[in-house]
Amino acid sequence: MYIDFSSSVDSCKQSSLSSSTAVGFDERMLLHTEVVMKSHPHPERPDRLRTIAASLATAGIFPGKCYPIPAREITREELQMVHSEENIEAVDNTKRMHASYFTPDTYANEHSACAARLAAGLCADLASAIYSGRVKNGFALVRPPGHHAGVKQAMGFCLHNNAAIAAAAAQAAGAKKVLIVDWDVHHGNGTQEIFERSKSVLYISLHRHEGGRFYPGTGAADEVGSMGAEGYCVNIPWSRGGVSDNDYIFAFEQVVLPIALDFNPDFTIISAGFDAARGDPLGCCDVTPAGYASMTQMLNALSGGKLLVILEGGYNLRSISSSATAVIKVLLGESPTIDIENTVPSKAGLRSVLDVLQIQMNFWPTLEANFTKLHSEWGSYAFQDTSEFLEFSLGRIYEENRVKKDVGLVYQYGGDGDERGCCIAYCPSSCVQSPLVIFLVDVDSRCKLQALGLDCVVVL
């Protein structure tokens, strides 16, 4: 895959670089790949970057409208600002291995250390360029992702923590206060660990949690920071999947923006995982490209527009390419197409926001008015039964016409006079809070799904 950046450079020369959006990308990051061939490709694979890059090129955005940041490998000294020698050595040692694993889901090959250092170096240089005013804002099109990587450990597909390294680079350039908003569907346990004792970096994460049952299990609402930095970790944990634009935008309006405005950051980073996007096989949520664009626009109003967006997760190629493109269009000055005037959250989403407000208003008094108003107007609604969620989930299956390859077979039986063939299965793409046990009965190439008494017919 070869990308000619000359058009981007020429375009940006015609206007001031200080008003340009920068993009960090390097094809060497595509060499980080799983060596051991399995029946299904690893979700964190090179095609993620290829697809986004192709989408941006087709739209004439990059190359074209964005300024390319040249890549460099981050130095050991820069890594030491965030990671221990244990992490640095473990990643560096993979250069001498054809194939290795940090954890069962986190692979490495002989190119992985270089890819991780390039990703971190791009994020650091983008942060410095944005904070110093050399460019207006930026998008780090990088892999491997980073927000699960802690002080010592590489895990969750992540080797070095790109967002934490970018925050350190912004501070080295002069930023006193850095805001990191992490909307990846998984909690950024590594980023939280790195900054949980810091009052100069505010970490806000919106993620599926489900009482700790959703990976990585951290990020409960009562994890608020420690050692005098209580309130500088803000976790907004969803109790189930299926959360949508309305839930995220509602949480932004009620929690994220009020705290961010009080904090008044000099620099803002988005850990932009797109695995809460509609159609993602791991996240099973319902956020649209317009939803991501709206959240980007809200955060772009902070820090004088000094905003860096860093790619984290996202494993549906169509979803990540359309979502990333929508976000970069906002960085370039386009307005989102979504109407956010009257956002009504789901009952589960409202309950999560109320829980967070009740905890965080102890550290951010401005939230007390929001909690009182919401609890007065919506409190009884929030704690009603939420069975409508399952109807939504089955509706999503019907709407998306899920195909047979999306359904994982657990147990099948037939015969004994039953020629229909019945199986117990789960559908990981059905936007449910956990693998939903369903019954499928084959009837004239259509299947009837029955779950807790609710039926839905889909074409298979």
- Answer yes or no: do 370 and 429 share one domain: no
Number of domains in the chain: 2
Q: Please identify, among 344, 375, 406, the residue that sits at the C-terminal boundary of a domain.
A: 375
Q: What pLDDT does residue 430 have?
A: 39
Whether residue 383 is contained in a domain is answered as no
Helix axes 367-382, 347-360, angle to 10 degrees: 150
Say if CB 271 and CB 127 are below 8 A apart: no
Strands 418-426 and 438-443: antiparallel
- Answer yes or no: do 207 and 312 share one domain: yes
Q: How confident is the model at residue 337 (pLDDT cuts 50, 70, 90)?
A: confident
| Helices and strands per DSSP (H, E), number in the chain | 14, 15
Residue 3 pLDDT > 90: no
Whether residue 396 is contained in a domain is answered as yes
CA angle (200 as vertex; 197, 204 as ends), nearest 5: 75
Whether residue 280 is contained in a domain is answered as yes
Residue 456 pLDDT > 60: no
Mean pLDDT, residues 68-91 taken together: 97
CA dihedral of 72, 200, 314, 323, whole degrees rounded to 10: -90
- Answer yes or no: do 412 and 274 share one domain: no
CA distances from 299 to 181, 215, 261, 295, 407 (A): 9, 26, 10, 6, 37
Q: What pLDDT does residue 435 have?
A: 40
Q: What pLDDT does residue 19 have?
A: 80
Q: What pLDDT does residue 4 have?
A: 55
Q: What pLDDT does residue 449 have?
A: 39
Whether residue 381 is contained in a domain is answered as no
Whether residue 162 is contained in a domain is answered as yes
CATH number for the domain harbouring residue 47: 3.40.800.20
Residue 7 pLDDT > 90: no
389's CB contacts (< 8 A; 6+ apart) are: 240, 242, 346, 347, 348, 433
Of all residues in the chain, the percent with pLDDT exceeding 90 is 73
Q: How confident is the model at residue 444 (pLDDT cuts 50, 70, 90)?
A: very low
- Answer yes or no: do 403 and 309 share one domain: no
Report how far residue 341's alpha carbon sits from residue 250's, in angstroms, rounded to the nearest whole number.
Answer: 10
Which segments of 220-292 are extended strands (E)?
233-238, 267-272
- Answer yes or no: do 211 and 332 share one domain: yes
- Answer yes or no: do 274 and 421 share one domain: no
- Answer yes or no: do 271 and 228 share one domain: yes
Q: Please identify, among 308, 341, 375, the residue that sits at the C-terminal boundary of a domain.
A: 375
Q: What pLDDT does residue 308 have?
A: 99
Say if CB 312 and CB 271 are below 8 A apart: yes
Residue 140 bridge partners (DSSP): 24, 310
Report how far residue 334's alpha carbon sits from residue 113's, in angstroms, rounded to the nearest whole number.
Answer: 36
185's CB contacts (< 8 A; 6+ apart) are: 207, 208, 273, 275, 276, 280, 282, 283, 285, 313
**Which of the residue ranges 96-110, 159-173, 371-385, 395-409 has the most confident prediction, judged by mean pLDDT?**
159-173
The one catalytic residue among 32, 148, 186, 207: 148
Mean pLDDT, residues 439-456 taken together: 36
- Answer yes or no: do 166 and 280 share one domain: yes
40 is known as an active-site residue: no
Q: What pLDDT does residue 338 have?
A: 78
Q: What pLDDT does residue 87 have?
A: 98
Residue 441 pLDDT > 80: no
Mean pLDDT, residues 175-185 taken together: 99
Q: What pLDDT does residue 381 have?
A: 65
Domain that holds residue 452: 389-459
Q: What pLDDT does residue 217 have?
A: 97
Say what the pTM is: 0.82
Residue 402 pLDDT > 50: no
- Answer yes or no: do 67 and 93 share one domain: yes
Residue 350 pLDDT > 60: yes
Residue 459 pLDDT > 90: no
- Answer yes or no: do 330 and 397 share one domain: no
Report how far residue 272's alpha carbon sits from residue 139's, in angstroms, rounded to the nearest whole number.
Answer: 10
Q: Please identify, among 319, 343, 375, the residue that sits at the C-terminal boundary of a domain.
A: 375
- Answer yes or no: do 211 and 70 share one domain: yes
- Answer yes or no: do 425 and 367 share one domain: no
Report how far residue 456's alpha carbon sits from residue 460's, in angstroms, rounded to the nearest whole number.
Answer: 12
Whether residue 382 is contained in a domain is answered as no
Whether residue 182 is contained in a domain is answered as yes
Residue 192 pLDDT > 70: yes
Largest Cα separation within the chain, whole Å, is 76
Residue 97 pLDDT > 90: no
231: left (phi over 0), alpha (psi -120 to 50) or beta: left
Report how far residue 220's alpha carbon sits from residue 78's, in angstroms, rounded to the nearest whole number.
Answer: 30
Say if CB 254 and CB 374 are below 8 A apart: yes
Report how far residue 460's alpha carbon sits from residue 407's, in angstroms, rounded to the nearest whole number.
Answer: 10
